[in-house]
Amino acid sequence: MKLFKIAWLKIRSTYSLPLLILSLIILVFYIFIGIGESELAYTSAHVSSILPLKTAVIELLSIYLFSYSVLPTNRIVSKSDQDFLFMIPVDEKELAIGIICSYLIINMLLVGILIIFTAPILGFGSFALFLLFSILLSFIPIFSLRLKTLYRVLFTLLLLIWFISAYFNFPYSPLSMLDNYTPSYFILLGLTLAIAFLSLNKLNIYDLVKVNYQSSRTIKNPIIFSPSSSPFLTMLKKNINLIELGGRVSQIAGGQYLIARIKIYYVLIPMIVIAVLAYLFPQLSFLILVVEFILLLNYAQASFINEPLWLNLSIMPPSKFARNYLLSKTLTLYILFIPLIISGFVSGNISFAIASLEFPLTFIYISSILARFYPVPQSGVQILNVRRMIFTLIGTIPVLVILFLSLLFPLFTFVIIVILVSYFFLNKRFWEKAFENAISSPY
């Protein structure tokens, strides 16, 4: 009962009650549809959409793994949660386990969509996959936080390769149950138990907290800006040196805005590896496009969050600052996408190459929408609610539409993107209002 109360407090610090009820209704809907699909899976002699469903499941699970493992800082206890959770008169171990239980409940709400894709293939086994994967995602961030950045990236890449190997009918993948390999359930169970054991071993409540300590070390590679540099070149130099990835809404950590600043080569090297894989296995092209979208979304969500707007406003007009800022960020994104663009053209996947060429421009749209309608809270305290979910969808759904259309009508989507970019670049009033909201909005 005590663990339930802790978990409930943590969940309510993350979800508003209307959003929590909506999420539960959606999960029940997934389960209801899954039961019907499971019964059909046993009565139908053949399911013609097995291969597309299998591909969708692998891609969806890969997205979850990448997000939770590489960027675990958006799956930890926020500062606002610490202020009241750490004051509860319970044992630290109980508090940590209660928080992990809240992770499990929230992950079940987020991963429930898997049931719709897996039930036609696995029948009622889809519910076992759903439960195991919800547990796995609850512990992977804790385990990843204990690893250094390089080891975390390597761990994630190896894990992704292991899961994606199911696409090539590898019988010992945690997802090979999609090809009717029953032992795969035990492989996934073993992986889940291993990650859970490594996470719980010597678990301390402060393992769930990201603490930033002041370092006494000197900065090895300081970024030096010339007074004569133009604002654009100054921003471009800063963005190329440090890539900012993050999220405006953390599903687990309340609403704290978290940014990961990393050297560009930590992102560029994996992109080169992915580009080589795209050349060797052209059938992975769509999955790679999904990876591009994840990177784009995390990159866009970090825009304007840590920018001292009140200083920028005194240096140049808001519209001029926004143009320089967004253009420098977009060029940095092109540097990251160049390996994938080249790989697409060399391998003959022209439509995917053109899509990768156009796709970074949509960054300007997402960043502009978020800056205008989804300003950064000055208090740093936020509860995830329906309003914020709607604005997130407004920012991402059109980009997903453009992503699919770009594969079929590249010239048409290019015109749409140019119109969108032109609007945000030329609309001075848009940015004046956006910066006013960023400074004065209570959200």
pLDDT at position 166: 85
Q: Single out the residue of 347, 236, 333, 336 nearest to residue 283, CA to CA.
A: 347
**Could you tell me which residues are beta bridge partners of residue 263?**
242
Per-residue pLDDT in tens (0 to 9) along the chain, 443 residues:
677 777 777 777 767 777 788 888 888 888 888 888 777 765 554 444 455 677 777 777 777 777 777 665 545 565 556 666 667 777 777 777 888 888 888 888 888 888 888 888 888 888 889 899 889 988 888 888 778 777 887 888 888 888 888 888 888 889 888 888 888 899 999 999 999 898 888 776 666 665 444 444 444 555 555 555 677 888 888 888 888 776 554 444 444 555 667 788 888 888 888 888 888 887 777 777 777 877 887 788 778 776 655 555 567 788 888 888 889 899 998 998 898 888 888 888 887 888 888 888 888 888 888 777 766 555 444 555 566 666 666 666 777 777 777 777 777 788 888 888 888 888 888 888 887 777 666 54
How many Å apart are CA 130 and CA 127, to the nearest integer?
Answer: 5
- CA-based end-to-end distance of the chain: 34
DSSP 348-394: T-HHHHHHHHHGGGHHHHHHHHHHHHSPPPSS----B-HHHHHHHHH
Task: Looking at 13-49, list the stretches that DSSP marks H as alpha helix, in order from N- to C-terminal side.
Answer: 17-43
d(CA 189, CA 371): 42
- Strand ranges in 140-232 using DSSP code E only, listed in sequence order: none
Residue with tokens 């090539």: 168
**How many Cβ atoms from other residues are within 10 Å of residue 185's Cβ?**
17
Residue 247: is it exposed, middle or buried by C-beta count within 10 angstroms (0-12/13-18/19+)? buried
In sequence order, what are the residues at sequence separation of 6 or more whose Cβ sits closer than 8 angstroms to the Cβ of residue 400?
293
Which helix (H) or strand (E) covers residue 246, if one does? strand 242-247
Q: List residues bridging with 429 in a β-sheet.
A: none
Are the C-beta atoms of residues 23 and 109 closer than 8 Å to each other? yes
**Cα–Cα distance for residue pair 139/151, rounded to 1 Å:** 17
Task: Quote the radius of gyration of the chain (alpha carbons, Å).
Answer: 22
The token pair that represents 183 in the structure block: 């032992």
How much is the pTM? 0.64
What pLDDT shows up at residue 276?
A: 86
Q: In this structure, what are the phi and psi dihedrals at residue 245, rounded to the nearest 5 degrees?
A: -125, 145
